[in-house]
Chains A and B, each alone.
Chain A
């Protein structure tokens, strides 16, 4: 009997092994999967950036190449129209890199923001609007709130990067933010208010005309996170967090931004503290506040480029430095020196086996040094935690098999009407 089961098991393994052709690892229904449509809509076959043979495909449609265009009816000096079927790739409007925030009220409230060590007061007055660069957090200063004499608040405004779902909206609409009496009451009674502005997914759209919606922490049930809830319902575009911490206390230890006395009690030069007021006609753009990760090597829970120091590129959570490529946008060396795919690699080896560049220039320069020795030393030595060496990132895309996809009529090879 034992020999019988052993033989049966062996037969089963052999049969399964024969039926396994490797496709089962990624393919369960005989389907083929490609990156999402918006990623496929790049010039190269599954590769972003202009590919070989593609000419002057700029991001914003400015791809007119003088001399190649047929003469049109353009007025003199107005450039040339493009010609049809020229083999160029169609242009793509660059997604908005800034989000226009509209402060609706209370009417008359002055909105300022942090600029380095100080604050720029009264940069706009509600109702008013301003374009904030995306992917950064700003410290606002709300003052002269009508009916709230002496109240000054310093909320943070986190502007999220544009997503495929929000690009069209952000290119055409403002992001409305209104500080209500209820919000102010909550803050004055020592509560913390979080407002999340998001664009609902289509299935959550309720109004006749599409628009943004807002979730406020004080109106949700206890234990509910407005950010998580908004993320479940749609795509977050901005988060406002309001508390009653005073960021301009003159004697605040280790904190105050515009303090005249330093953290060690030393006097600071008055010129070091920037004082800007819109009431005097002075306007300075906001600067993102410091790293949200506290300067540690531990990346935050959100895998996105975060704000960095003023004037510096966004902080990269994967490389743990500023200025690195955004996660999910690997820069791959290509034979033509262009960036690689903006989506996840396809998980297979590159087809290129050999790439040779020969420099035949005559030259007469000194012999290169073959060995250089420089001794450097830190006292005391450096001891830091182990860096991150493994990150698992999984993208899940819906897949549709044959009979489940409906293509546009014009893409299905039907004659034009």
Chain B
């Protein structure tokens, strides 16, 4: 299943693959919308999906720490990358990336919006998390106050690329003019949106709205930070 997950980041090919998404038509969802809208739509459309646990694994290009805020800014749980935790469908999470070897002292605060879940075999959910791979180029772009948005989707088996996965998730870079949600829906089923920028929390307001209060589930796959 890992091989079947792809990252969509830009450039839309014009093939009419999707069954519901048709190029040229208005698509109501957009990756530029307020964080939480897409997951909310999915939960409203399919109420049974909301609140379902979904393991997510976050990869960094180097050794680093991935911190999660569990319920409040004061309840920080630091984990070692690659970090795997259980998130919940319908929620948006603020994450902290720090301890990067090539960027000492740098902290980044991306968010992850969990739109939908995967359907692994019973009892194997921990083996098939949603992978979120952050590259060195994306870290550099965020440090230059650029915004990176990645829509992670589960590709349709009948339109999957007939190539063997090399261990890295295939990434497509699309023009910023494109609608990533439409492109991901065109290729498969979007499951998460990852947004990364250069904003940091206000040190004078440690409990501001910057942090998420979404619940998190930890398991044996979660590796605490050293």
**Are A and B bound to each other?**
yes
Interface positions of A (Cβ within 8 A of B): 37-38, 41, 58, 60-62, 64, 72-75, 78-98, 100, 102, 129, 131, 164-165, 167-174, 176, 202-203, 205, 207-211, 283, 285, 398, 400, 403-412, 414, 416-417
| Number of A-B residue pairs at CB separation under 8 A | 250
Nearest 10 interchain pairs by C-beta: A172-B197, A173-B197, A90-B43, A62-B213, A406-B25, A90-B90, A205-B176, A412-B20, A82-B51, A167-B34
> A407 near B20 (CB under 8 angstroms)?
yes
B 27-69 to A, binary, CB cutoff 8 A, 1 in contact else 0: 1110111111101111111111111110000000000000000
Of the candidates A73, A171, A416, the one having the most CB atoms from chain B within 10 angstroms of its own CB is A171
Distance in Å from the Cβ of B13 to the closest Cβ of chain A? 16
> B35 near A73 (CB under 8 angstroms)?
no
User: Which chain B residues lie closer than 8 Å to A92 at the CB level?
Assistant: 34, 36-37, 40
> B215 near A81 (CB under 8 angstroms)?
yes
User: Which chain B residues lie closer than 8 Å to A398 at the CB level?
Assistant: 26
- Quick one: given A176-B145, A202-B177, are A73 and B51 in contact (CB under 8 Å)? no
* CA gap between A205 and B30 in the complex, in Å: 15
* CA gap between A169 and B189 in the complex, in Å: 24
User: Which chain B residues lie closer than 8 Å to A86 at the CB level?
Assistant: 50-51
* B:106-146 near A, CB below 8 Å: 109-111, 116, 119, 141, 145-146
Partner of B91, one of A73, A91, A414: A91
User: Which chain A residues lie closer than 8 Å to B20 at the CB level?
Assistant: 406-409, 411-412, 414
- Quick one: given A168-B33, A211-B147, are A41 and B197 in contact (CB under 8 Å)? no
> A72 near B189 (CB under 8 angstroms)?
no
Of the candidates B10, B25, B147, the one having the most CB atoms from chain A within 10 angstroms of its own CB is B147
Task: Indicate if B156 sits at the interface (CB-CB under 8 A).
Answer: yes
* CA gap between A400 and B27 in the complex, in Å: 10
* CA gap between A89 and B44 in the complex, in Å: 7
For A208, the closest partner residue in chain B by CB is B176
* CA gap between A18 and B130 in the complex, in Å: 60
Interface positions of B (Cβ within 8 A of A): 10, 18-22, 25-29, 31-37, 39-53, 70-71, 75, 86, 88-92, 109-111, 116, 119, 141, 145-149, 154, 156-157, 173, 175-179, 181-182, 185, 188-190, 195-200, 202, 204-205, 208-210, 212-219
User: Which chain B residues lie closer than 8 Å to A84 at the CB level?
Assistant: 48-53, 89
> B35 near A171 (CB under 8 angstroms)?
yes
For B42, the closest partner residue in chain A by CB is A410
* CA gap between A211 and B148 in the complex, in Å: 9
> A72 near B28 (CB under 8 angstroms)?
no
Distance in Å from the Cβ of A350 to the closest Cβ of chain B? 24
User: Which chain A residues lie closer than 8 Å to B21 at the CB level?
Assistant: 406-409
User: Which chain A residues lie closer than 8 Å to B197 at the CB level?
Assistant: 169, 171-174
> A205 near B177 (CB under 8 angstroms)?
yes
* CA gap between A411 and B199 in the complex, in Å: 33
User: Which chain B residues lie closer than 8 Å to A98 at the CB level?
Assistant: 202, 208-209
> A85 near B47 (CB under 8 angstroms)?
yes
> A100 near B199 (CB under 8 angstroms)?
yes
* CA gap between A90 and B185 in the complex, in Å: 21
Distance in Å from the Cβ of A190 to the closest Cβ of chain B? 32
> B111 near A172 (CB under 8 angstroms)?
yes
* CA gap between A368 and B7 in the complex, in Å: 71
Partner of A94, one of B145, B209, B216, B218: B209
For A95, the closest partner residue in chain B by CB is B34
User: Which chain A residues lie closer than 8 Å to B179 at the CB level?
Assistant: 202
> B176 near A168 (CB under 8 angstroms)?
no
* CA gap between A164 and B34 in the complex, in Å: 6
> A73 near B218 (CB under 8 angstroms)?
yes
- Quick one: given A86-B51, A174-B199, are A61 and B92 in contact (CB under 8 Å)? yes
User: Which chain A residues lie closer than 8 Å to B204 at the CB level?
Assistant: 131, 283, 285
Partner of B209, one of A60, A74, A205, A208: A60
* CA gap between A306 and B196 in the complex, in Å: 31
> A416 near B119 (CB under 8 angstroms)?
yes
For B115, the closest partner residue in chain A by CB is A410
User: Which chain B residues lie closer than 8 Å to A210 at the CB level?
Assistant: 146-147, 149, 176
For B185, the closest partner residue in chain A by CB is A408
For A162, the closest partner residue in chain B by CB is B34
> B40 near A81 (CB under 8 angstroms)?
no
* CA gap between A285 and B198 in the complex, in Å: 22
Partner of B219, one of A73, A78, A82, A100: A73
* CA gap between A87 and B50 in the complex, in Å: 9
* CA gap between A91 and B50 in the complex, in Å: 10
Partner of B26, one of A41, A169, A173, A406: A406
* CA gap between A171 and B198 in the complex, in Å: 10
Of the candidates A88, A168, A408, A414, the one having the most CB atoms from chain B within 10 angstroms of its own CB is A408
User: Which chain A residues lie closer than 8 Å to B88 at the CB level?
Assistant: 81-82
User: Which chain A residues lie closer than 8 Å to B182 at the CB level?
Assistant: 406
> A209 near B75 (CB under 8 angstroms)?
no
- Quick one: given A73-B217, A164-B34, are A405 and B50 in contact (CB under 8 Å)? no
* CA gap between A404 and B27 in the complex, in Å: 9
Distance in Å from the Cβ of A51 to the closest Cβ of chain B? 13
User: Which chain B residues lie closer than 8 Å to A74 at the CB level?
Assistant: 216-218
